[in-house]
Structure 1
């Protein structure tokens, strides 16, 4: 039990510290001033690429050659994801952790508008905490981290039981850890 507790705590240590810090920043998000940095880029899609926009069906991804051209022009990778196609334009939302981005292509003129917003490191860490716009790899990491935290807590509970006989304040402290949040929810939340 000691080995499981020790190993799970070692695996969780840095993640739990970051989770605690981002929990504080999320709790006080309104008081933390952010200065978003917005980058705008406009251009015109080459004539040779415009026919590929007329062949696409609604909710399909941008053609590979258009994505490649956009990456060359903006320096940003454009993922393969469904875009919003209307008669006049193609709109692609590009949400990301710690910011946002979008692009719009006029289907008739080829005019392209791209905007990227970076909300800073606090927003990035808050989004990582929530798993917002982070992708499947981060989602898997959060699930594995959560399982390791459960192992850490449950083995800690077993170790508390093993050593509680020598420490009379163990169970009153555990009960306080349960009672305080329950009382706050029952008495002080709307």
Structure 2
């Protein structure tokens, strides 16, 4: 039996289609989380951070008189009393209170100025970006299979079309452009 180029294109379409459907979820996960990770300086992919500034009207005790009970009273308006872990004074008049989950409260005990910073996990985007950091050995295997699948999808896509739209025509120009542009950024930026 003789193998024809039309057979190669036929099998390329089948492989390309099936692997594309199989890996489409991963492509979307990596694309969306990749966009978020590219903008980490403006978007925290793991946490949503909300800052509230306010003024404490009452007179606050200094470092030596500040007790855990007094700190818990400061946390009451935020409902964070049960999340208290510890407090300390990084400066003479500034107290920092650490809370479970990463939230915190910073209070200038002299002026009463306070900043409450609330951290909440981003459930979907945080989980998606976690995959970029390789969360475990099991993921390494799947990520390697995904990478091989992308190579197969790419090669099957390259040989699938013939003529002016294929590798010899427009497809070849697009292939070269898709290689040259990342190389320009790699070497010149």
TM-score (norm 1): 0.50
Greater Rg by CA: 2
TM-score (norm 2): 0.50
